[in-house]
Structure formats: structure tokens, C-alpha cells
């Protein structure tokens, strides 16, 4: 649900949303590396809240560790959420509420100004009683504007749940990364998520007598600062404002999740082995 930023697909993931993938990614996807040698990255994010696609699962502090192995365009990622303080909306406290497993592949593409990544994520929810579910995804990022003084990288990611939700979620993101120095990088951007009827019915149920319509359901405005402490260690700082679409989506969230809008952030430390 969920790395140090490079222009291309990793830059697409620079927005601070749940699934703190180094840059605390909006997409929640693992990085897709094209490295000739295997690379292993371990990370830990301390966040003020757990927010995913507009859904505030925990208003209190969480720890989100993860580990990623990347090689020849493939990456395997294991990510978890541990509730440090208070109970989340499912009643879990001082324990893991989620552990996810993702596999991604950076598709070789002839166009130099576009990157395509495909993959799948399996979501599990220990200690909650919630059934696990799985999604497949495809991400497209356009890097045509990366040579501007401040690069602008738009991307679209399509997620399709093939298990419990049986719905589709589309994430539209525009990220502006900027390299201040060899050690310091900053980025900012905006994203919005669109759910079809099945997706919105599953995550924002509005009672047995009615159903949600397809439409945009969450909006995010974010900023991230990355600083390379050493050749192997990077610290990232993030601040995000998340809000939901009004109407039926907001009404449903009020009774299910911990908040209908949230300003949240945190720090992530990544170590490259």
C-alpha cells in the first residue's frame, strides 16, 4: 500500500504517501532497478500517521520498515507497517497491522523519454482479521521534461485488484525533482487517485442500500528533502497534505477511517548494502 530519487521511474515515486519506499512513495511501488549487479536496500520510516490512498488508517506514529532487492530490471520488496502509538482504525496497537510483498519489472522501452514498470503486490494484514488481497499494476512515466531547470515528471499508474476488492484505482502524479547539490535533492508535487465503482464500494462502503460512483477520491500535495549522509546512507524528510473528495466518499470515510483529511510526514533512512 503502499529510493534516493533518480530521474525516471524512481522520481515518479517521490511523493510522500503510505508505503514509505525511501522517498515515501505515492504509488507504493518498489523501485525497478536496471543494475548489472544485485543491489539490496534496507529502509525504515518513522511517520506521524499511516495514510494510504486517502485512507487514514492510524492517526498516531507508525514505523514502516522495508527491504528491496533489485537486479537486471527486477525488484522484490517486502514492506511492513508497525503501529507505535494508539490503536489504528482496525484496533491494532503496538504490533504489525500490514506486511506487503511486491515484485516489479522495468520494461525495456525504445523511447528515451518514457519508462514503463509492471508488477504485482500481495497485501497481508496480520493481527487484524482482514483478508489478504492482491493487485497488479502498470506505471508509465514521461521524462521528456527532465532537462528543464526544474524537471517535471508526470506519471500514471493503473492498479487492478484481482482478489478481494476486484476494483481499479488510477493514480495521476506530477513530480518536480530538483538537485540542489551532489548530496541534497528536493522534490514537490501533486497527485490524485481515481477509483472505479467496485474499488470505491470496497474501500468506502456507504451502507447496504447504496453504492459509490466511480470518480476521484483522494488528492495529495507533498514535498520531500533527501540528503546523502554517506555513499551508503540517505535520509529523507517528507511532508504531505492528503484530502478526500467530498460527498459520499467523505461521508463513508468519516465512519471508517481515523480522519477525512490529514497533514502528516516523517523521516526515512535508507542503507544501500
Mean predicted confidence (pLDDT) in 253-268:
93
Q: Where are the alpha helices (DSSP H) in the chain?
A: 9-12, 197-203, 248-256
- Domain covering 9-272, topology: Porin (2.40.160)
Query: How big is the chain, counted in residues?
Result: 273
Lowest mean pLDDT among 25-29, 91-95, 124-128, 203-207: 25-29
CA distance 177 to 150: 7
Q: Check residue 79 and give its pLDDT.
A: 98
- Pairing label, strands 261-272, 233-244: antiparallel
Mean pLDDT of the chain: 85
Q: Where are the beta strands (DSSP E) in the chain?
A: 39-47, 50-52, 55-58, 62-71, 74-83, 96-107, 114-124, 133-142, 153-161, 168-179, 184-195, 215-228, 233-244, 261-272
Residues with Cβ < 8 Å from 48, sequence gap 6 or more? 60, 61, 264, 265, 266
* Tens digit of each residue's pLDDT (9 = 90 or more) over 85-130: 888 998 899 999 999 999 999 998 766 678 899 999 999 999 998 9
Question: Does residue 145 register a pLDDT over 80?
Answer: no
Question: Mean per-residue pLDDT for 77-84?
Answer: 97
Amino acid at each position: 500500500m503502499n529510493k534516493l530519487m533518480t530521474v525516471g521511474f524512481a522520481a515518479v515515486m517521490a511523493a510522500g504517501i503510505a508505503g514509505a519506499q525511501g522517498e515515501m512513495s505515492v504509488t507504493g511501488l518498489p523501485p525497478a532497478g536496471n543494475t548489472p549487479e544485485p543491489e539490496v536496500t534496507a529502509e525504515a520510516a518513522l511517520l506521524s500517521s499511516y495514510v494510504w490512498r486517502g485512507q487514514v488508517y492510524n492517526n498516531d506514529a507508525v514505523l514502516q520498515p522495508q527491504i528491496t532487492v533489485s537486479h537486471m530490471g527486477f525488484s522484490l520488496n517486502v514492506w511492513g507497517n508497525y503501529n507505535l502509538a494508539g490503536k489504528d482504525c482496525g484496533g491494532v496497537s503496538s504490533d504489525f497491522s500490514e506486511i506487503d510483498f511486491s515484485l516489479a519489472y522495468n520494461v525495456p522501452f525504445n523511447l528515451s523519454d518514457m519508462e514503463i514498470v509492471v508488477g504485482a503486490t500481495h497485501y497481508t494484514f496480520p493481527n487484524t482479521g482482514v483478508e489478504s488481497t492482491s493487485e497488479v499494476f502498470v506505471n508509465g512515466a514521461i521524462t521528456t521534461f527532465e532537462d528543464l531547470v526544474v524537471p517535471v515528471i508526470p506519471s500514471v499508474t493503473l492498479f487492478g485488484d484481482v482478489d478481494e476488492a476486484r476494483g481499479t484505482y488510477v493514480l495521476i502524479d506530477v513530480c518536480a525533482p530538483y538537485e540542489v547539490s551532489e548530496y541534497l535533492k528536493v522534490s514537490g508535487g501533486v497527485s490524485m487517485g481515481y477509483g472505479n465503482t467496485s474499488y470505491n464500494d470496497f474501500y468506502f462502503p456507504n451502507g447496504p442500500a447504496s453504492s459509490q460512483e466511480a470518480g476521484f477520491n483522494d488528492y495529495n500535495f507533498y514535498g520531500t528533502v533527501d540528503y546523502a549522509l554517506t555513499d551508503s546512507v540517505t535520509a529523507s524528510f517528507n511532508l504531505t497534505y492528503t484530502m478526500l473528495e467530498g460527498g459520499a466518499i467523505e461521508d463513508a470515510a468519516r465512519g471508517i477511517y481515523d480522519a477525512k483529511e490529514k497533514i502528516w510526514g516523517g523521516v526515512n533512512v535508507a542503507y544501500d548494502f
